[in-house]
Chains A and B, each alone.
Chain A
Amino acid sequence: MWRTMKQEKESKARPGNDLREQIDQNLRRVYQDAVQEEVPERFRLLIEQLREKTKGE
């Protein structure tokens, strides 16, 4: 739930806030779309390597 009732009220009360809220929704979508992408295998392998290296020290 991104929008609280308070924010809802505020955006209705002040002109210009709707635009700001729309921009924020799009920004969150840019970020959320990226968060939901699967993390590439190379990072799992990298951490595995770092773990092994640390163990050996």
Chain B
Amino acid sequence: MVPEEELTTHLPALRAFAISLTRNISSADDLVQETIVKAWTNLSRFEAGTNMRAWLFTILRNTHFSNRRKRKREVPDSDGMYARRLSVRPDHDGRLAFSEFLVAFDKLSDEHREVLVLVGASGFSYEEAAGMIGVAVGTVKSRANRARARLQELLGVTQGEDLVGTPAGQALMAAATAGGESMG
């Protein structure tokens, strides 16, 4: 497959990464747009045989953090928050619990969401994530641990605590179960 064609096959993953990172659909789509243009312009620099998805994710995250530095003073726009779009009426199928997880996830810093999505959700190794973020492997590991701890804190549970019996624990469990089922 020529690189131009291969690029198209990574779009769903690239956009999912952008959404997970920004948690805002319109920011995510602007970011994907910018990434596609940059990637296309630099396609000749892409080394055939290497991981194009990792290459694209790297361009996207670098673009995101560099844009963020440029508009540091701007107040974040919370109107388009993705979680709000996803929120549904409480039901007994675990959807409410998943939306509780999303509320906590949305409160994380972009850096924490980034590391958790790279190593926890999109299937990259710590080494690959380190290459993409541009830090040492040890930094990725400790950042991921801090991000998990923060997430637990936001969910109202502390390390080692038995989740069963706490509302957050039940919610998380139900969400995880529902998620597992929906993914087959």
Q: Which residue numbers of A lie inside 8 Å of B, CB to CB?
A: 2, 15-16, 18-37, 39-40, 42-43, 46-47, 50-51, 54
Contact = CB atoms under 8 A, between A and B. Distances in A.
Q: Is the interface of B mostly helix, strand, loop or mixed?
A: helix
B32 A43 contact: yes
A44 B101 CA distance: 32
B163 to A, nearest CB: 5
Interface in B52-77: none
Given A30-B102, A39-B15, A50 B176 contact: no
Contacts of B12: 35-37, 39
Interface string B34-51: 001100100000000000
Question: Which 8 residue pairs spanning A and B have beta carbons closest together?
Answer: A34-B16, A29-B179, A31-B121, A25-B176, A35-B16, A22-B176, A34-B19, A27-B121
A37 to B, nearest CB: 7
Given A16-B159, A30-B105, A34-B19, A22 B172 contact: yes
A47 B7 CA distance: 9
5 contacts: A26-B175, A27-B116, A29-B179, A35-B16, A50-B36
Contact of B33 (A16, A22, A37, A46): A46
A55 to B, nearest CB: 11
Nearest to A26: B101
A33 B17 CA distance: 11
A18 B163 contact: yes
Contacts of B182: 29
B8 interface: yes
A23 to B, nearest CB: 6
Given A23-B151, A30-B117, A51-B4, A35 B32 contact: no
Contacts of B8: 47
